[in-house]
Amino acid sequence: METTTHIISAILGHCRGSDLDELKSRSKMIKGDLRKIRMLERQAEQDGDFTPLQQAWQSFQSKCYRIADKPWMIKPSRDHLKAELDQLELADPPQRWLTFCNEREGYGWYHKCNMLMPGGDTLDLGTFYIHVPFYIASDPCVLPAKDCYKHHSSHPHVGMSYTMCTGSAGPLMRRLRNTHDLAAIADVISATLDTFNPDSPYWRPDSMLREYQCCLECGKPDDNDELIVDPEFDTQDGMYRPRLLCMDCYNERKRRAFKRALRKAEREASLQAHQRRVQ
């Protein structure tokens, strides 16, 4: 796992801000020019020569333009970032998502998602890996990690690109990312993932639950506990939950597999017989 020091350096490298000493040096530069302008104003009142005063104003205007192009936000201190990161249980991404996270440099942690439903009960959606890119303009990613539902993005508040919909919390998230309140960002993300939102632009969990209570192939519902776990469903090392299969589809699958094996054996036998005749 990347060290806290490396993460802090990366965050500072992506910050479009200045330290306090840099801001102080700019204010001192402007303060000195203003003093010079006031002195030249008094001098112009005495001798009537406004040329030095005009030149001083031109110089002052040029410096103001240069300062305006520089970032005015203050970079966070290393101590602040370390204190924030120490509150998070940082972890490496799952092997399945390693390339995805490397392409979007950042840091992350695991979150066990128990969504609070309108009726007061909770829905276990599995464990997700939360990846927050260093680049502030990029949205946090929510990646299925363990015992998740293989349905769209696995979470109703997450799009197919695995970016999270923050909804009304979007402006708050942007402010927190600008001020680098990393622990507060994690709290907002966790609260959003654990809260049912009927207005989510993505999908509701109802269809996902119905799908997982039906046969994977024919869609027959599990009314009489007749469905079995599909032995061929790829859970990708536990990232997804197993799917169900009715006995009819299971037996039909076995018949198809037997026919395929029989045809393969017949082809091989025919090929061997042909090779013997040629010899």
Q: What is the pLDDT of residues 219-251, one digit of tens each?
A: 888 777 788 999 989 999 999 999 999 988 999
Q: Which pLDDT tens digit goes with each residue over 31-61?
A: 888 888 888 888 888 888 888 888 888 888 8
Asked if the structure places residue 168 within a domain, the reply is yes
Is residue 1 in some structural domain?
no
Residue 1 has pLDDT above 60, yes or no: no
Per residue in 116-136, pLDDT (tens digit) is: 988 888 999 999 999 999 988
List the domain range (segments joined by +) for residue 277.
213-234+241-279
Instruction: Answer yes or no: is 11 within a domain.
Output: no
Q: Evaluate the CA torsion angle 188, 194, 200, 202 in order and state its sign.
A: positive
Q: Is residue 183 part of a domain?
A: yes
Residue 268 lies in a domain: yes
Q: Which two tokens stand for residue 262?
A: 């029989």
Using CA atoms, how far apart are residues 173 and 138, in angstroms rounded to an integer? 12
Hey, what amino acid is at 45?
E
153 pLDDT tier (thresholds 50, 70, 90): very high
CA distance 233 to 219: 15
Percent of the chain with pLDDT over 90: 36
Q: CA-CA distance, 112 to 190, in Å (whole number)?
A: 9
pLDDT for the residue numbered 112 = 96
Question: Are both 46 and 104 inside the same structural domain?
Answer: no
Q: What is the mean pLDDT of residues 5-34?
A: 75
Same domain, 188 and 128: yes
Annotate 58-108 with DSSP letters as a single string.
HHHHHHHHHHHTS--SBPPPHHHHHHHHTTS-B-PPPGGGHHHHHHS-EEE
Cα within 13 Å of Cα(214), Cβ side: 12
Same domain, 87 and 56: no
Task: Fill in the amino acid letter for 109.
Answer: W
DSSP state for residue 224 in the 8-state scheme: S
Predicted local confidence at residue 69, as pLDDT: 59
- Say if 5 falls within a structural domain: no
Q: How far apart are CA 81 and CA 7, in angstroms?
A: 9
CB 57 within 8 A of CB 6: no
Mean pLDDT of 146-157: 93
**CA 177 → CA 15, 81, 140, 156, 172, distances in Å?**
10, 12, 11, 23, 9
153 and 253 in a common domain: no
Q: What is the pLDDT of residue 241?
A: 94
Q: Residue 201, exposed/middle/buried by CB under 10 A (0-12, 13-18, 19+)? A: exposed
The strand pairing partners of 107, in sequence order, are 132
CB of 227 closer than 8 Å to CB of 250: no
Q: Does residue 217 share a domain with residue 199? A: no
Quick check: helix, strand or coil at residue 147? coil
Quick one: pLDDT at residue 56? 85
Based on the structure, what is the number of domains in the chain?
3
User: For 73-102, what is the mean pLDDT?
Assistant: 89
pLDDT digits (tens, 9 = 90+) for 174-218: 888 888 899 999 999 999 999 988 777 788 888 889 889 999 888
Question: What span, in angstroms and rounded, lies between the C-alpha atoms of 192 and 160?
Answer: 17
Q: What is the pLDDT of residue 219?
A: 86
- State mean pLDDT over 17-36: 73
Q: Are 205 and 115 in contact (CB under 8 A)?
A: yes
Domain limit, last residue, from 10, 38, 68: 68
